[in-house]
Amino acid sequence: MQRVRLWGTRGSIPIALTAAGVRAKIEAALKGSRGRPIDTDAGLAEYMASLELHQAGTYGGHSSCVEIETGTGEYVLCDLGSGARPFAQGAMARHGPGNPQTYHVFMSHLHWDHIMGLPFFTPAYLAGNRIFIYGCHARLREAFVRQQAEPSFPVDFSVLAAKIEFVTLTPGETREIAGMRVTPKLQMHAGDSYGYRFEARGKTFVYSTDSEHKLDDPQETEGFVEFFRDADLVVFDAMYSLADAISVKADWGHSSNVVGVELCQLAGVKHLCMYHHEPAFDDAAIARVLADTRRFEEITRNGAQLIVSAAYDGMEIEL
């Protein structure tokens, strides 16, 4: 494994930055430029480089889709949310439509925000492509076929020209797939979800979204600590604040930034990337959560620093 690319990072439903939101960013940036030498290209570039992501860009709004670059020549994805569409556009630009490819897709679960990208996934419509969709749910194929059936979508699943195979995995059982050792783990979420641990070439990546961690069961906690053990990167569902996760949104199937730090510190993880952002949060709110999380990591640190980042659409993380 070489790097991880994040194409969709929002939870529950895709969102868009509104016209009012763009205007607010422009106004804030213009106000911040007062008194600075931005009348030259160099000065403007320096000022723009000084702005944070939430000021000069956006965390994005596509739902879950993460790419693992393995170096094998085959594509590997986690989930097929709306982020699968820009991934497909990028993949097609790399190799062109006339060059068949193989895609491996690992599904955390079958809720709509995680499968909605397949009807807009261009490689699925092209003969010669092979798409393997892996998951631990018994109704894996049914979920994808049903969302394209009338009256929900105008293009039936049977129209897809790629060879699509559904492969059932067993939780806790390690398989060799796409040059990696892949181990799924059951997580707490409505209808069940599964995290994945990927190991290859001395690197470990863990994808753990739509999972609620209560930390009140020592055995369950230890199980996830071992699942995360010594990972180079953990992409982690930190949708809620700790207060929400243990009160009004308890049992909603998602976790918090604080719990993510605690689990990763116990496991000796190198990099925690907070993921599956609350759709009600704007860019400034996510930036505040990130700053708070980094402060929490610093005051609770007992050993090596845990790198903490907030996922955004288009982010690349080297392993």
Domains along the sequence of the chain with CATH: 3-13+64-313 (3.60.15.10), 19-55 (no CATH)
Output the CA–CA distances (angstroms, integers) from residue 182 to 73, 145, 169, 199, in the order listed.
17, 25, 10, 7
Question: CB under 8 Å to 157, separation ≥6 — which residues?
Answer: 144, 145, 148, 149
The pLDDT value given to residue 309: 97
Is the Cβ–Cβ distance between 308 and 290 less than 8 Å? yes
State the pLDDT at residue 246: 46
How far, in Å, CA of 135 to CA of 168, rounded?
Answer: 5
Nearest to 232 by CA among 199, 191, 210, 254: 199
- 36 vs 225: CA distance, rounded Å: 48
* Pairwise CA distance, residues 147 & 180, whole Å: 30
Query: How many other CB atoms are found less than 10 A from the CB of residue 75?
Result: 23
Question: CA 152, CA 150: separation in Å to the nearest integer?
Answer: 5
DSSP tag of 288: H
Q: Quote the pLDDT of residue 283.
A: 95
Question: What are the residues whose beta carbons fall under 8 Å from the beta carbon of 92, sequence distance 6 or more?
Answer: 122, 123
Q: What is the pLDDT along the chain (319 residues), one digit of tens a residue?
A: 789 999 999 999 999 999 999 999 999 999 999 989 998 999 999 999 999 999 999 999 999 999 999 988 999 999 999 999 999 999 999 887 789 999 999 999 999 999 999 999 999 999 999 999 999 999 999 999 999 999 999 999 999 999 999 999 999 999 999 999 999 999 988 889 999 999 999 999 999 999 988 777 788 889 999 999 999 999 999 987 655 544 444 554 567 899 999 999 999 999 999 999 999 999 999 999 999 999 999 999 998 999 999 999 999 999 9
Kindly state the tokens that stand for 178: 């796409």
**Distances 14 to 122, 248, 277, 282, 315 between C-alpha atoms, Å:** 19, 23, 10, 13, 17
